[in-house]
């Protein structure tokens, strides 16, 4: 299959690109190369005859039409997005432009491509979204695919809007879509502004490890390579027009996750131990959702998918990867905003 992956130079998109190529798919990686992108993430497949790259912006409809006409993909996996909640608090406009207008452009370009090809039912537009569209849970309960949308941040609101557009393009125009809403990812190639790499890199530098609020916020952590596997499973087996929640079956409070990472570093890089002495509670994020948890029943029972690693195993592999790939993360630490506290203006 020939798959156009948008956002394939980012964290999750690059995992999808690497896995899809490894499984023999032809992959066109379309990416605008924003601050969050890194082509080193796909260096392992860059020379493959199955791989090609298109430097294009989903806000530019003409560029999308040209890429689709040139490559004629059988499927689109749409991951390009502005993805950092803290940045969405400081600058929501970029999130609306890329996540909402960009998704609209891509849907329209995909629809034109699909119509031109004679509306093949085998075509797929796979929209990759987040569990954050469902808002915040209390101490109990889980998100199902029927949970009402209640996004609380500019990021999650823009993703919710894009989900609604995708559903509407199926209902109105018959575009063969599938949607996925996934919990928090972690793993290799995670941009160094997100919680897990911040903890690892601040610990290694002997700097304070910032934990927002009281650290009681709960997330359902999924190893990024498991997410990529789930996405290819949904692309292959998901029912048209259906959405699937993807979770790690690994709920953890932020403070507990941070302590696990510190303990792994104590073991794997003992010269700075104990790293938990660096944990520092800082002002909370405005509108910080308390808890996310995924009910994965649908993807497990209908598609037979479940995650392959526990959070302990996945974090061990992640910490090892950051210890072994210092050149990768050092190069990204100079990018605008990295290492600064963002999202406290509200």
Ligand X SMILES: NC(=O)c1ccc[n+]([C@@H]2O[C@H](COP(=O)([O-])OP(=O)(O)OC[C@H]3O[C@@H](n4cnc5c(N)ncnc54)[C@H](O)[C@@H]3O)[C@@H](O)[C@H]2O)c1
Q: Which of 26, 29, 88, 98 binds ligand X (CB under 6 A)?
A: 98
Of 10, 59, 55, residue with least CA distance to 36: 10
Q: Which is nearer to ligand X, 182 or 198 (CB)?
A: 182
Count the neighbouring beta carbons within 10 Å of the beta carbon of residue 278. Answer: 18
Q: 185-186 and 2-6 as β-strands: parallel, antiparallel, unpaired?
A: unpaired
Structural contact between residues 190 and 196, judged by C-beta atoms closer than 8 angstroms: yes
CB of 227 to ligand X, least distance (A): 7
Return d(Cα 328, Cα 303) in angstroms, integer: 35
If one asks whether residue 130 binds ligand X (CB under 6 A), the answer comes out as yes
Angle between helices 254-268 and 195-205 (to 10 degrees): 40
If one asks whether residue 221 binds ligand X (CB under 6 A), the answer comes out as no
Per-residue x/- mask for ligand X, residues 154 to 193, rule CB under 6 A? Answer: -----x----------------------x-xx-----x--
If one asks whether residue 54 binds ligand X (CB under 6 A), the answer comes out as no
Active site residue 74: no
Return d(Cα 329, Cα 322) in angstroms, integer: 8
Strand positions, DSSP E, 80-191: 124-130, 177-182, 185-186
Return d(Cα 110, Cα 116) in angstroms, integer: 10
**Beta-bridge partner residues of 218:** 253, 291
Candidates 122-130, 134-142, 210-218, 321-329 — which segment interacts with ligand X by CB under 6 A?
A: 122-130
Return d(Cα 158, Cα 155) in angstroms, integer: 5
Candidates 26-34, 69-77, 286-294, 329-337 — which segment interacts with ligand X by CB under 6 A?
A: 26-34
If one asks whether residue 36 binds ligand X (CB under 6 A), the answer comes out as yes
Candidates 8-16, 68-76, 268-276, 337-345 — which segment interacts with ligand X by CB under 6 A?
A: 8-16
Q: Which of 20, 76, 80, 203 binds ligand X (CB under 6 A)?
A: 80
Active site residue 131: yes
Six-digit token string for 124: 């797929």
Active site residue 54: no
Report, as residue numbers or ranges, the catalytic residues: 131-132, 155
User: Which chain residues interact with ligand X by CB under 6 A?
Assistant: 6-7, 9-13, 31-34, 36-37, 57-59, 79-83, 98, 102, 128-130, 159, 182, 184-185, 191
């Amino acid at each position: 299959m020939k798959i156009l992956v948008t956002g394939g130079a980012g964290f999750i998109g690059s995992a999808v690109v690497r896995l899809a190529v490894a499984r023999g798919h032809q992959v066109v990686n379309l990416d605008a190369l924003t601050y969050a992108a890194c082509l080193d993430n796909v260096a392992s497949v860059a020379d493959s005859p199955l791989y090609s790259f298109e430097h294009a912006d989903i806000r530019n409809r003409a560029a999308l039409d040209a890429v689709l006409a040139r490559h004629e993909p059988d499927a689109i996996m749409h991951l390009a997005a502005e993805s950092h909640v803290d940045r969405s608090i400081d600058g929501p406009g970029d999130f609306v432009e890329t996540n909402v207008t960009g998704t609209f452009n891509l849907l329209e370009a995909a629809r034109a491509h699909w119509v031109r090809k004679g509306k093949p039912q085998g075509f797929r537009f796979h929209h990759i979204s987040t569990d954050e569209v469902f808002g915040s849970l209390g101490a109990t309960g889980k998100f199902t695919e029927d949970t009402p949308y209640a996004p609380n941040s500019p990021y999650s609101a823009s993703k919710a809007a894009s989900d609604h557009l995708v559903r509407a393009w199926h209902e109105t125009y018959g575009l063969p879509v599938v949607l996925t809403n996934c919990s928090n990812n972690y793993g290799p190639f995670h941009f160094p502004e997100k919680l897990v790499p911040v903890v690892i890199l601040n610990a290694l530098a002997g700097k304070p490890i910032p934990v927002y609020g009281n650290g009681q916020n709960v997330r359902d952590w999924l190893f990024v390579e498991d997410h990529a596997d789930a996405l290819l499973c949904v692309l292959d087996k998901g029912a048209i027009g259906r959405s699937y929640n993807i979770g790690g079956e690994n709920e953890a409070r932020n403070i507990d996750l941070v302590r696990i990472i510190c303990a792994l570093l104590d073991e794997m890089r003992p010269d700075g131990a104990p790293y938990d002495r660096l944990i520092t509670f800082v002002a909370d994020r405005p509108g910080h959702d308390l808890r996310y948890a995924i009910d994965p029943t649908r993807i497990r029972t209908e598609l037979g998918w479940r995650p392959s690693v526990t959070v302990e195993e996945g974090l061990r592999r992640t910490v090892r990867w950051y210890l072994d790939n210092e050149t990768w993360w050092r190069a990204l630490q100079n990018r605008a905003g990295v290492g600064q506290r963002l999202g406290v203006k509200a």
